[in-house]
Amino acid sequence: MVPPLPAAKIEEVLDIVTPHVGHWRAFHINVADYSLIHPALVRMSHCTSAPMLEVLKLYADEDLREDSVPSYAAG
């Protein structure tokens, strides 16, 4: 599994990909914490139209957080 990116790296990625929003057919964001989705949405709200965009998926999988502790069944 790919580790989640820190917030600063997410900003870097958005700097690279958002100028190409007019070419997007699908865009997926998978972050480790819900708090990282809002800044991504704010950045995307400043984009021009995305006429080809058919799929936009936003995920926050808190199991990916670095500080999450896996649970184990007692046995």
Closest to 48 measured CA to CA, from 22, 25, 26:
22
Tell whether 55 is covered by a domain.
Answer: yes
Could you list the residue range(s) of the whole structural domain that residue 42 is in? Answer: 7-60
Tell whether 69 is covered by a domain.
Answer: no
pLDDT in tens, 2-38: 566 677 888 898 899 999 999 999 998 888 888 888 8
pLDDT in tens, 35-75: 888 888 888 899 888 999 999 998 887 765 555 544 444 54
Contact criterion met (CB below 8 Å) for 71 and 43: no
- Confidence (pLDDT) at 23: 95
Closest to 3 measured CA to CA, from 38, 26, 31:
31
Domain count within the chain: 1
- Confidence (pLDDT) at 43: 87
**CB atoms closer than 10 angstroms to residue 65:** 13
Tell whether 2 is covered by a domain.
Answer: no
> pLDDT confidence of 1, banded at 50, 70, 90?
low
